[in-house]
Structure 1
Amino acid sequence: MGRKAVLTTGIEDLDRALGGVRSPETVLWVDEAGDRFPIFGSAFARHQILTGKPLVFVSFDRLPHGILAGLELDVKGARVVLVDCFSHGKASAEADRLEGNEGRLPRFARLQTPSDLSRPDALVDLVLSALPKRRKTFALVFESLTGMVGVWKESGTLHFMERMQEVLQGRNTITYWVTRKKVHSRHFREEVESKASVVVELSAMRNKPHLTLRKASGREGSALLGRPLRYWQVEGRVSVETKKRSSLKKVLGRRLRKFRVRRGISQTELAQMIGVTPSSISQIESNLIYPSIPALVRMAEVLDVDVSAFFSEPLTRYRKPILEQERARKLELPEEYRSVLSIWALAPEDMGGKGEPYVIEIPPGAVVPSHFFSRKTDQMGYVLQGRLIFQTETGANLAGPGDVIYLAGATATEWRNLGEETARLFWVLFT
């Protein structure tokens, strides 16, 4: 007898939280809002497709194109059968359009529309006919029990679930059943939960999505049972926080944002300089994910700090009473600004205080199309050399050597160097 294929939810963190997927696994997803399950369904389906395992997806809640939108993969050998129970009797024209034009479907997908939904047993027969005859390992998704109740009422839906479990007995399967929370009778909820080996509740706490493992048969000793676990999705990948976040992780996100804002760099600009997506920077600053080591080193280079500055406070302040000219840090600016603007930070990162001093240089004839810093904080500058025109909401302003510029909680929209020499300013941002 050969070994059974390993089953998975397609989400490593969730498999870990469950202590592994066991066969046959019946997972009941209790969706509080009714719109949280699809990302888990897509992750599950994507894994089945990429590994070439058969999947039958029965939908009472969504049109086929809504399900396929998250499954646009160019693979060979995979097979997904979509059983469209949503269009039946509701939007048959949409079903006919898709069924009559299978060229619009991914090559791994086949659409089936039941001709008779009046009897639960008729759908059982249709699902059985869609299952591969020579394979004992496959996956099924039933979305959702709530939709079934709208067709068969609670008694017919319970009968359908029982019949499906009977015909799947002895096979190496993982089956997802989805239901809404607090919309069914207590008897119905208790019955479907008793038939499931795993119960996962999807909800929100403090406006953050969480999942809670309410049941995991044979894994009752798990420390994660009953504990809300935060989850998130980045670039299609779902992650679940199975371990308590360390204080180190919280510190990193907070300090990354501090250094980025201090430099006047947006999340998008920082992402471009490092070679990651803006959403990744947002997730790091929100303490949801760690950056890779190369990305962390690149962040330190761009923000001109030591890598250690992300994790610990400086041990000392003012190491020396003098900052030599060569130790002034030249800020890395977006590419479109590098030919018209140079900025040097004059204070070491560990100086603290309420002001940040900089020297700013603008070459002859150059036009800077925005302010030097994006922060709308009080700031002032002293013109050391050159003549400048700068635009504010009140109009154009001319400044020359010895003039002091004050911007109270505002920024300039443009700077122009009118002269034939480099304009230099001593600039202070007040924190």
Structure 2
Amino acid sequence: MSLKTSNRFSTANIKKRRVSSGLSELDTLLGDLYIGDNVLWYDDMGSFSAAFSHCFIRETLARKKPLIYVTFDRSPKNVVSFLGTLAESQNLTILDCFTNGKGDSSEVFNKFYEKDGALWPYKVIKVNNPTSAAHVAEAMYGVHSNLAGDVHFIIDSLTGMQSLWGGEEQVIEFYVKTCPRLYELDTIAYWLVEKGAHSSRLKANINKIAQVVIDLSVRRGNAVLKILKAEKRSSQYINEHHCYSCEGSTIIFENQRSEKNRFDLGARIKSTRLMRGLSQKELAALTGVTPSTISQVEKNLIYPSLPALFRIGESLSVEVATLLKDTDRDRDSCVYASASRSSISLAKSLKGYVSGELLLPPDLEAPADVTMLRLLPGKKIAGHFFAHKGREMGYLITGQVELIMGNQTYQMNAGDMVYLEKDMPIGWQNLSEQSAELLWLTFKQ
């Protein structure tokens, strides 16, 4: 008996369809992405893979392709904030595995679903029992079945699954079953993974099944991408290190810029330290290292570990991404777009009470740091926003706040200003039912 293979099912006759990552340079390095790919993104902290995911989401929605964002680690409100206006696209569905998962069905997170009769611009589906891998799979395929064409996925994250499901075996089983099915359904999926949270056994198992595996890290002070696997494509860049930086809402690879524009991490840390009025000894004490270490880092004789880099950023009140971001190209500009702003890193005691962003690049030679501070409704904090020695000035844009100076209490209304010579407030409180916005100037010494 002779066996005939139908051309319809012959893999040789299936033409692979290209998909862009949203970054032309990454497409070149990979030898393109294709429908059917499961792409693993290994990251230390999650902040770098989020930037690449954002580019992919933007590209997908611009091409009017459906995308399902499966979130285990971010609340729906956090996802909406992360995506900005992209979250309002009707081609985006957020599958919420957080609220009844890590969120523990808390009223705080469930408030997101209270629409108060307003027009709801987001497509968000809450999974009732995300602690069950079967329920999560059912929800994913249920949403997929109602969509047409190539469906793209962001799964954030495999690490969140393991934390929720209580072990690696459940994660491996889910991944082993899901990847082939997503491949057959003509999808492409980004799987985000915190690489330090998993065993070598798990990583070996999932790497074997994935079509593309990418590692993100910080190496000698530079953000680095390395392609570990790019199955069935002719990429010549496997296992090579490729430096990049985040600039606004996009990512620029080092070979896309000229040599003269490459930034110096040590110089960036030094200039930001001096602008904060800190000595090397003071920064060392805040960071938990020796003054000699800070000196060597600023001279690029040694490079800080990732945890040390995050501590340095926190001590300097800047995000690590800001220290890694190249702002030299903006030096001839007198306008600084809102999209290029960097979040500030405030003291841990202020998290959940105050947020802020720098309105100017931190290494700009301006006489003052200009920050937009937002004190959440009804919140009260002990102490001040910054540990600053010198003059400060604040203008209250919206809301009503109270500040305490020694034994005196002062009330500020929208339009009022405060000027501080050297003494710092010992407390702040937002008296209004909305976020109080303060335009804050910290003068450099």
Instruction: Report the TM-score, using the length of structure 2 for normalisation.
Output: 0.53
Structure 2: where are the runs of 5+ without partners?
1-7, 9-13, 264-327, 341-445
* 2:143 corresponds to 1:130: yes
SS at 2:244 equivalent? strand
- Are the structure 2 counterparts of residues 63 and 12 from structure 1 closer, same or farther at C-alpha, using a change threshold of 3 Å? same
Q: How does 1:54-93 map to 2 (within 5 A)?
A: 54-73=66-85, 78-91=90-103, 92=105, 93=107
With 98-107 and 139-148 compared, the bigger mean Cα shift is at 98-107
Partner amino acid, structure 1, of 2:68: V
* 2:169 corresponds to 1:186: no
* 2:177 corresponds to 1:163: yes
Q: Distance in 2 between matches of 1:190 and 1:102?
A: 48
SS at 1:270 equivalent? coil
Name the count of aligned residue pairs.
Answer: 263
Partner amino acid, structure 1, of 2:37: E
Partner amino acid, structure 1, of 2:332: L
Partner amino acid, structure 2, of 1:116: N
Q: Do 1:13 and 1:241's aligned partners in 2 also have CA atoms closer than 8 Å?
A: no
- Are the structure 2 counterparts of residues 61 and 105 from structure 1 closer, same or farther at C-alpha, using a change threshold of 3 Å? farther
Deviation digits for residues 380-431 of structure 1, max 9, x if unmatched? Answer: xxxxxxxxxxxxxxxxxxxxxxxxxxxxxxxxxxxxxxxxxxxxxxxxxxxx
Aligned to 2:57: 45
* 2:19 corresponds to 1:7: yes
Tell me the percent identity: 24
Q: How does 1:147-226 map to 2 (within 5 A)?
A: 147-152=160-165, 153-219=167-233, 221-226=234-239
Deviation at 1:193, TM superposition (A): 0.8
Q: How does 1:10-409 map to 2 (within 5 A)?
A: 10-73=22-85, 78-91=90-103, 92=105, 93-101=107-115, 107=121, 109-133=122-146, 135-152=148-165, 153-219=167-233, 221-241=234-254, 247=259, 270-272=332-334
Structure 1 runs of 4+ aligned residues shifted over 3 Å read 1-6, 74-78, 102-106, 245-251, 266-270, 275-280
Q: Distance in 2 between matches of 1:71 and 1:238?
A: 16
Deviation at 1:123, TM superposition (A): 0.7
- Are the structure 2 counterparts of residues 103 and 45 from structure 1 closer, same or farther at C-alpha, using a change threshold of 3 Å? farther
Deviation at 1:135, TM superposition (A): 1.7
Q: Whose Rg is larger?
A: 1
SS at 1:37 equivalent? helix
Q: Distance in 1 between matches of 2:133 and 2:338?
A: 47
Instruction: Report the TM-score, using the length of structure 1 for normalisation.
Output: 0.54
Deviation at 1:55, TM superposition (A): 0.8
Deviation at 1:172, TM superposition (A): 2.5
SS at 2:41 equivalent? strand
Deviation at 1:119, TM superposition (A): 2.2
SS at 1:222 equivalent? coil
SS at 2:162 equivalent? helix
Partner amino acid, structure 2, of 1:88: N
Q: Distance in 1 between matches of 2:180 and 2:116?
A: 32
- Are the structure 2 counterparts of residues 235 and 156 from structure 1 closer, same or farther at C-alpha, using a change threshold of 3 Å? same
With 192-201 and 45-54 compared, the bigger mean Cα shift is at 45-54
Structure 1: where are the runs of 5+ without partners?
252-265, 281-431
Partner amino acid, structure 2, of 1:35: S
Deviation digits for residues 141-162 of structure 1, max 9, x if unmatched? Answer: 1111111111221111111112
Q: Do 2:211 and 2:231's aligned partners in 1 also have CA atoms closer than 8 Å?
A: yes
Q: Distance in 2 between matches of 1:247 and 1:117?
A: 48
Q: Do 1:57 and 1:140's aligned partners in 2 also have CA atoms closer than 8 Å?
A: yes
- Are the structure 2 counterparts of residues 188 and 102 from structure 1 closer, same or farther at C-alpha, using a change threshold of 3 Å? farther
Deviation at 1:118, TM superposition (A): 3.3
